[in-house]
Amino acid sequence: MIDIRRILDSREEVEKGLLKRLSKEDFSLDEIVSIYEEKKKVQLDFDTKRAQQNQYNDKMAKEDKGSENFKKLLEDLKTKAKEVKELEEKLRELESKLQSKLEVLPNIPDEDVVAGGKEANEVVKMVGEKPVFDFEIKDHVELGKKHDIFDFERATKISGNNFSMYKGLGARLEWALINYFISKHLEAGYEMIIPPNLVTRDSAYAAGQLPKFEEDVYWIQDGLCLVPTAETVLTNLYKDEILDEKDLPRKFFAYTPCYRREAGSYRANEKGLIRMHQFNKVEMYQFTSEEQSPKAFEELVSRAEELVAGLGLHYRLVKLAAGDCSAGAARTVDVEIYLPSIDQYYEVSSVSNVREYQSRRGNMRYKPSDGGKLKYMHTLNGSGLATSRLMVGIIESYQQKDGSILIPEVLRPFMGGVDKIS
């Protein structure tokens, strides 16, 4: 959430930043400031009348309860109490109105993040070459059926469209990827979390999923939803807490299945594992001070790169334009791998610096080492990594002329030495 003080003190800068990702019709800082100013006036009136109410109480305490003066003070007090109650209700309404306007605003993009949507994204790095084949390649669905490592038909029968079922060596390859990620994150000193797969509405709000993505998550009973990403859980680790700056940064990773409705976002060529309602992902997360967050962002990008590079896949880094970043992100870099069967690149990791956006929603602060006033933590997240599209990339990129699939060397120890699916 954007700090109202920032809007009041740097209105032109805030508007300029928001216009990188929104149109003028999408928001009104004038309206927000107007609500704030009205709230400030009502607050002043409320404080004045509350003080007067207290004065009546003090005067009545000194009067004889049977006296005419006491009765008059009592009548005046009732009138004043009614006024205070009305102002208190008005304050609540204005605060709710102000929050509803602020909470739908996305984060302000960093200065070097360009305006525009997906068309303005910039490829900033290419690693490796597209794989070259001297035979007609098959896609991962064909290869999966050939080797009986997926069962999309039974998954659909059980759960409906856009679900998958891994079998045999397919299940082992999926699990090998997760174990590979875990081992690398532990080596790097990140703390492992196995979190709940359900979160409250408040937790989803703090992470920035709500209110904008209300329809994209799976809601169940008791006000809980299935996690769309472990980021939602990790964001809330220090909700309503205060840390010491000397204890930052805090680095975590978590594995969860992820559940997303994503209604209407499926394209014709996105069959099989490319886009599903449920997929596995390991998420990296850091809580930092304001000064630490730029370095932490570069670290998370490097960690995601290292994991993909270790698999021997051709990939690229894409710096997202403001309109293609998630609502909470001030800057984002995607790691995209190449999928041979459709000759396209797809995201397997999205690394974002969210700065104070989530910590303001979740009230997560730290005490500066110099003894200054409390500051909001910076939060950063990055997939480390999502498995389903990596499965596509591995199966298609490592397919052989005889139809077999080589296993990347880094995964073989996690598959009991199996080096090929044939």
Q: How many residues does the chain have?
A: 422
Predicted confidence at residue 269, as pLDDT, reads 72
Which residues face 383 on adjacent strands?
A: 283
Query: What is the tally of helices (H) and strands (E) in the chain?
Result: 12, 15
Question: Cα-atom radius of gyration of the chain, to the nearest Å?
Answer: 27
The domain segmentation of the chain, as residue ranges, is 4-103, 118-421
User: Is beta strand 375-376 parallel, antiparallel or unpaired with respect to 250-259?
Assistant: unpaired
In terms of Cβ atoms closer than 10 Å to its own Cβ (0-12, 13-18, 19+), residue 310 is middle
Beta-carbon-side half-sphere exposure of residue 99 (alpha carbons within 13 Å): 11
Whether the bond between 257 and the residue before it is cis, its omega within 30 degrees of 0, is: no
Note whether 4-103 and 118-421 share their fold: no
Report which residue type is found at 257: P
Taking only the tens of pLDDT, the chain with its 422 residues reads: 999 999 999 999 999 999 999 999 999 999 999 999 999 999 999 999 989 888 877 777 777 777 778 878 778 788 888 999 999 999 999 999 999 999 999 999 999 999 999 999 999 999 999 999 999 999 999 999 999 999 999 999 999 999 999 999 999 999 999 999 999 999 999 999 999 999 999 999 999 988 878 889 999 999 999 999 999 999 999 999 999 999 999 999 999 999 999 755 556 678 899 999 999 999 999 999 999 999 999 999 999 999 999 999 999 999 999 999 999 999 999 999 999 999 999 999 999 999 999 999 999 999 999 999 999 999 999 999 999 999 999 999 999 999 999 999 999 999 999 999 99
CB atoms closer than 10 angstroms to residue 256: 23
- Whether residue 414 contacts residue 169, with contact meaning beta carbons closer than 8 Å, is answered with no
What is the CATH architecture of 4-103?
Orthogonal Bundle (1.10)
User: Is beta strand 224-226 parallel, antiparallel or unpaired with respect to 344-355?
Assistant: unpaired
DSSP H helical ranges for 167-217: 168-187, 201-206
Predicted confidence at residue 68, as pLDDT, reads 76
292: nearest Cα among 218, 193, 209, 380: 380
- Between CA 62 and CA 67, with CA 63 as vertex, the angle to 5 degrees is 180
In the numeric block, which tokens belong to residue 419?
């080096």
All residues at 6 or more sequence positions from 81 whose CB lies less than 8 Å from its CB, including other chains: 53
Which residues face 72 on adjacent strands?
A: none
What is the CATH architecture of 118-421?
2-Layer Sandwich (3.30)
SS3 273: coil
Q: State the pTM of this model.
A: 0.93
How many angstroms separate the Cα of 288 from the Cα of each of 47, 52, 156?
38, 46, 43
